[in-house]
Amino acid sequence: MEKHKVVVCDHIHEAGLKMLQDDERIEYIFAADIDKTELLTVIEQAEVVITRSSTDVDAKFISHANNMKAIVRAGVGVDNVDIDGCSKEGIIVMNVPTANTIAAVELTMAHILSCMRMFPYSHDHLKNQRVWKREKWYGHEMKGKKLGVIGFGNIGSRVSIRAKAFEMDVVAYDPYINGSKATDLGMSYTENFEDILACDIITIHTPKNQETLNIIGAEEIAKMKDGVVLINCARGGLYNEDALYDGLKSKKIRFAGIDVFMKEPATDHRLLDLDNIVVSPHLGANTFESQYNIGVQAAQQAIEAAKGIAYPHAFNLPIDESKIPSFVKPFLVMGQKIGFLASQINKAPIVSIKVSGQGDIAEYLESLATFVTVGAIAETTGDTINYVNADFVASERGIKVESKEEASASVYKNLITVTLTTEKDVIEISATMFSDEVQRIVNINGFEVDVAPKGHMILLRNTDVPGVIGQVGSILSAHDVNIADFRLGRNDKAEALAVILVDSTVSDKTLNELSSLDACISVEYAKL
């Protein structure tokens, strides 16, 4: 009987090791304690490896992975894995994104409690300094306080449920969910970020991406209540660390509970010099239970991958190019990008995703729909969406995904159209591929354009009257925003759509000025 070789490169829970050992189809090698140079020889015949943060899956590692099908990163983060390098060699990269959910939830509650009652400081005062001074340690009760929760996914929703048990008033902000998910639990739901800034305590539970990096900065902190408490047990950088330091130093922020930092280990971080912050060294997954879950789930994924059964939570499920024409893969990649773009333009809970195609690409719409779905949902799910589970995640969220072949009625040999319907609006984007894999968006909601889907993109819809282009140019120039490309489309309703590619991030102030133009109907901003 053929056996599949699985190498465990780092320590995982013994329950996971036992699963590997007990499977008669698996030849299991434990290599967590050997030198990393020697490890390179061990993995040469491995079909699957399980790694953690101690093993860098870099170019040297990949060059020795001669027989490898898949890599399982036992945990959420994949910062130590060269995903592009793995993809080039046809190696599937998977992670274990949900095993530490409860651990992260409970750590968040610990930080909230510590900030409200200053437990770490009173503990140190008595135990280490041997000072008994009760009057120094007056804290605040959680009951009746308003908790703002940014991100209402697996972790944020569970934090909210526990906060309700403390009789807190919970306000949830997540533009990508149906508000009833919060209101059905007796919580408030808001689409106005200002409502979060007005809360007594704010905790964040989002992926780190272009939209959420520095989501709380100096401007947001200035709008908060004096004495606000901020919690971050999600990702380093969601709070701007310079603004956080200034807010804590000035006491605008009364206390902060921080488990994650932009650069780790953060042993020399200036936040550690402050006396109104509770910190921990990235302990979100550090419970025995979560380590058990991670070990078991990682082992199960390794077994399934080794046997070719499935590749759950795959970041880069490869395409068997022997079974598809060479022109298809670039369309799949472009389709994912168009889905991502559409979700940024039309920010609201998604109702349906429709993918249609004209020409030869129409034969591959099912695969295309999967890639579009991954792109459309990626911003709201972080590490939890991939090509394997895209349909399941969409179904779980009540999102209808459909594909349809259209009769060729355009000048393009191949054309794909993505229609994203949310609770607020409908966005329809058509795109094609010119020679040498040149991607082009050719239509947005009925406006014919010709623009590359890349970079910083402003979409301004306006009444088709003279002077608008000049006004737009003046506003962007006043804010030092350089225009890289400016494409204009018009419809039969006396409206125009300007798609403007710029060289740098566009501030909310700039977008507000554009939206205040008399001719402006709407302004959207996206980053690809």
Q: What is the third-level CATH fold of 455-528?
A: Alpha-Beta Plaits (3.30.70)
Residue 161: Cβ within 10 Å count = 13
291 vs 101, 120, 196, 288, CA distance in Å? 11, 25, 33, 5
Contacts for 14 with CB less than 8 Å, ≥ 6 apart: 295
Look at residue 227 and give its three-state secondary structure.
Answer: coil
Please pick, among 4, 111, 254, 282, the residue that the annotation labels catalytic.
282
Among residues 141, 194, 219, 264, which one is catalytic? 264
Distance CA(294)–CA(289), nearest Å, equals 9
Q: Quick check: helix, strand or coil at residue 228?
A: strand
- Active site residue: 73, 235, 254, 461, which one? 235
> Range(s) for CATH 3.30.70.260 in the chain?
455-528
SS3 for 171-210 is EEECCCCCCHHHHCCCCEEECCHHHHHCCCEEEECCCCCC
Cα angle: 260, vertex 54, 39; to 5 degrees: 170
pLDDT in the model for residue 322? 62
Concerning whether 402 is annotated as a catalytic residue, the answer is no
pLDDT of the residue at 382: 60
| 172 phi, psi to nearest 5 deg | -100, 135
Q: What is the pLDDT of residue 391?
A: 85
What Rg value do the Cα atoms of the chain yield, rounded?
25
pLDDT value, residue 519 = 95
Q: Residues for the chain: how many in total?
A: 528
pLDDT on residue 396 = 83
Residues 236 and 152: their CA atoms lie apart, in Å, by 18
Side-chain half-sphere exposure of 328, counting CA atoms within 13 A: 19
Neighbours of 376 (CB within 10 A): 30
| Residue 426, pLDDT score | 96
Pick the closest to residue 178 from 457, 396, 429 (CA basis): 396
Report, at the CATH architecture level, how domain 319-445 is classified: 2-Layer Sandwich (3.30)
Question: How far apart (Å, rounded) are the C-alpha atoms in residues 13 and 240?
Answer: 35
CATH placement of domain 101-279: 3.40.50.720
CATH 3.30.1330.90 residue spans of the chain: 319-445
Residue range(s) in the chain whose domain bears CATH number 3.40.50.720: 4-98+289-307, 101-279
Give residue 323's pLDDT: 72
Please state the pTM of the whole predicted model. Answer: 0.79
Q: Which CATH architecture has domain 4-98+289-307?
A: 3-Layer(aba) Sandwich (3.40)
Verify whether residue 158 is a known catalytic residue. no
Rounded distance between C-alpha atoms, residue 505 and residue 210, angstroms: 10
The SS3 call for residue 49 is strand
Give yes or no: 321 in active site.
no
The tokens describing 44, both together, are 């040469």
| Per-residue pLDDT of the chain in tens (528 residues, 90 and over written 9) | 689 999 999 999 999 999 999 998 999 999 999 999 999 999 999 999 999 988 999 999 999 999 999 999 998 878 789 988 998 888 999 999 888 999 999 999 999 999 999 999 999 999 999 999 999 999 999 999 999 999 998 899 999 999 999 999 999 999 888 899 999 999 999 999 999 999 999 999 998 888 899 999 999 999 999 999 999 999 999 999 999 999 999 999 999 999 999 999 999 999 999 999 999 999 998 999 999 999 999 999 999 999 888 888 888 876 665 677 878 888 998 998 999 999 999 989 999 999 999 999 999 999 999 999 988 998 777 656 777 778 888 888 899 999 999 887 678 889 999 999 999 999 999 999 987 678 999 999 999 999 999 889 999 999 999 999 999 999 999 999 999 999 999 999 999 999 999 999 899 999 999 999 999 999 999 988
